[in-house]
């Protein structure tokens, strides 16, 4: 049951994480990787802008999903806990 223990730790960490105003400068111009993808499938993204005018409930950019919440739930089976966090505008980058 080590996997479920690890999941519970990750979930409790996510529930406690608070994206605050000082995080914007930490993320802008940074390279990030989604934690929810296996390392073999890891992609890296360059953060252009922290979009403080968008939240997980904002409209998704294509017509397949109504919001970022729906996208993450349907594609990755993930619930976004912090509904007030801003979204990141990212571009794909290679791992160099």
pLDDT over threshold 50, residue 3: no
Q: Average pLDDT, whole number, for the chain?
A: 82
Q: What is the pLDDT of residues 36-48, one digit of tens each?
A: 877 777 789 999 9
Q: Which residues are registered as beta bridge partners of 51?
A: 87
Helix, strand, coil shares of the chain, percent, nearest 5, are 35, 20, 45
Q: What is the pLDDT of residues 60-81, one digit of tens each?
A: 999 999 999 999 999 999 999 8
In the chain, what are the domain boundaries?
A: 2-93
How many whole angstroms from its chain centre is CA 76?
A: 11
Q: What is the pLDDT of residues 16-27, one digit of tens each?
A: 777 766 667 788
pLDDT at position 32 is: 87
Instruction: State both tokens at 88.
Output: 């990141």
Tell me 84's DSSP state: T
Give me the CATH topology for the region 2-93.
paz domain (2.170.260)
């Amino acid at each position: 049951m080590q996997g479920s223990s690890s999941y519970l730790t990750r979930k409790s960490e996510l529930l406690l994480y608070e994206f605050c105003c000082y995080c914007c400068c930490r993320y802008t111009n940074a390279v990030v990787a989604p934690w929810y993808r296996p390392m073999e499938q890891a992609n890296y993204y360059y953060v252009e802008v922290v979009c403080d005018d968008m939240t997980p409930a904002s409209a998704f950019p294509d017509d397949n999903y109504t919001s970022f919440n729906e996208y993450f739930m349907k594609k990755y089976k993930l619930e976004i806990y912090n509904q007030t966090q801003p979204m990141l505008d990212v571009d794909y980058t290679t791992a160099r």
